[in-house]
Amino acid sequence: MAQIIPFGDPVNDAERLAIAHLRDHLPNNYLVLHNFEIQRGDETFEVDIAVVTPHAVYLVDAKGTHGTIDVAGPKWYPAGRAAFTSPLLKLRSHARVLKGIITDSHPTRRELHGIYVDNVVLLTAPDAVLNDPSGRDGKDVVTLKKSAALFQDPGRVPTKFVASIAAYQSIILKALQGVARKRTGPLCFRNWEVAERLGGTDVYTEYRAFNAVVGASSGRVRLRVYRADPYLPADEREAQRKRIGNAYEALSRMPVHLNILGARDFFATDEEDGYVLVTDDLPGQALRMHLDKSELSLTLDQKRRVARDLLSALDHAHQYGVIHRNLTPGCILLGTDGVLPASVKNIPPGPSVGRKVAERRAGMADSAGEPSAE
């Protein structure tokens, strides 16, 4: 059995399952550290699991997503749910940070630069399958059944790195223990308690969450938490807030429409180092998947309904001066037939295509194609 070093408690079933499986299936000279966060500069990043092996260090993100997950560009498209940014974008960045923590702990020991720090997304659902035709993410994603073999495979380590890091395990552990800290309680943004971290970039992180006051049975929402600089001058902070909150402010002035995803709230974090956009989390499939996968192809009647409902949504938005600047198949969600977006929570998507949702993103300068008010 591997040695378990807990910093905090698992926050969901996927993490619990992953930790228990690695504990039971890895050798006793492997270290499994779990549930901690690290502050580097003005960013705090969360770590589900870190596995220290005799040949490499692995930063692991546990995901409980069910069914087939299609990879297209930087997005993951899970079956029956809206797309989210690949978790590997941020995980790869965090792996580089983790490597820096190890090398910085002993600046004079150049051999520490030979330690390989890898990144892996661990899918814990028994039916989870990653479909990645381009090979962009597939090599860094593993199912629970195959995870022990992956972590014990020294062949993943590139030849430019040292083949054995067993002599440095105590240095690695002390370096992490020196900066890692336990999170006190679940991650919350106001009343929204995070149930699952989905993915993100250097600019934002996406979560699935529920109302902590009402309880998880009330349904889930999507959070997009943007980083912000609280030390900017007042005028620059205000400009930053407007850029991030542009979509919510524009759409909040617009009456509700059946074919437009609901934006529930927008607010600053308690520390004023970020902004949170809260939207509905609806069952459905992105139009892109219906176009790319023959088994999801639409009938002529369904295509007409897509066009009709999409034009209806655009017409409604344009009447109130709201322009969607990047309307693509990847950001159009096909839901269940004839069901209002506000009432579909906890209902699985049906076989036919119904209400369309022009998914809105916050109006960040880095994302060319968000709604804007004119």
Specify the DSSP class assigned to residue 261. Answer: P
Confidence band, pLDDT 50/70/90 cuts, at residue 360: very low
Looking from the CA of 259 toward its CB, the CA atoms found within 13 Å total 22
Q: 133 vs 24, 70, 295, 340, CA distance in Å?
A: 32, 9, 16, 34
pLDDT (0 to 100) of residue 184? 65
> Mean pLDDT over residues 149-162, rounded?
96
Instruction: Round to whole Å and give the CA distance between 153 and 149.
Output: 6
Q: How far apart are CA 261 and CA 356, in angstroms?
A: 9
Distance linking the first and last C-alpha atoms of the chain: 61
Whole-number pLDDT of residue 224: 93
In angstroms, rounded to a whole number, what is the distance separating the alpha carbons of residues 236 and 22? 47
> Model pTM?
0.80
Q: What confidence category does residue 345 fall into, taking pLDDT thresholds of 50, 70 and 90?
A: very low
What lies within 8 Å, CB to CB, of 213 at 6+ separation is: 191
Instruction: Name the CA radius of gyration of the chain, rounded.
Output: 22
Range 212-223 burial, b when 16+ CB lie within 10 A, else e:
beeeeeeebbbb
CA atoms of 70 and 63, how far apart (whole Å): 14
**Which of 209, 313, 312, 305 has the alpha carbon at shortest distance from 265?**
209
Cα–Cα distance, 61 to 17 (Å, whole number):
12
For the stretch 292-336, pLDDT in tens is: 998 888 889 888 988 898 899 889 989 988 887 778 888 888 875
In tens, the pLDDT along 4-38 reads 999 988 888 999 999 999 999 999 999 999 999 99
What confidence score (pLDDT) does residue 237 get?
85
* Residue 364 reports pLDDT greater than 60: no
List, as one string, the DSSP characters of 354-371: --EEE------TTSTT-E
What average pLDDT does range 182-195 have in this prediction? 84
pLDDT digits (tens, 9 = 90+) for 76-124: 999 888 899 999 999 999 999 999 999 999 999 999 999 999 999 999 9
How far, in Å, CA of 81 to CA of 128, rounded? 14
Indicate if the pLDDT at residue 374 is higher than 70. no
Give yes or no for residue 74 having a pLDDT over 80: yes
Residue 76: how many CA atoms within 13 Å on its side-chain side? 25
The DSSP symbol for 154 reads G
How much is the mean pLDDT over the chain? 85
Checking if the pLDDT of 365 tops 50, the result is: no
Helix (H/G/I), strand (E/B), else coil: 150: helix
Q: For the stretch 272-311, what's the b/e string if a residue is b when 16 or more beta carbons lie within 10 angstroms of its beta carbon? A: ebbbbbbbbbbbbbbbbbbeeeeebebeeebeebbeebbe
Answer whether 306's CB lies under 8 Å from 287's CB. yes
Structural domains of the chain, with CATH: 3-181 (no CATH), 188-280 (3.30.200.20), 285-373 (no CATH)
Per residue in 242-262, pLDDT (tens digit) is: 888 887 887 787 888 888 887
Name the phi and psi angles at 108, rounded to 5. -85, -10
Cβ(178)–Cβ(39) below 8 Å: no
The residue ranking higher by pLDDT, 132 or 332, is 132
Could you count the other beta carbons within 10 Å of the beta carbon of residue 234? 7
pLDDT at position 336 is 55
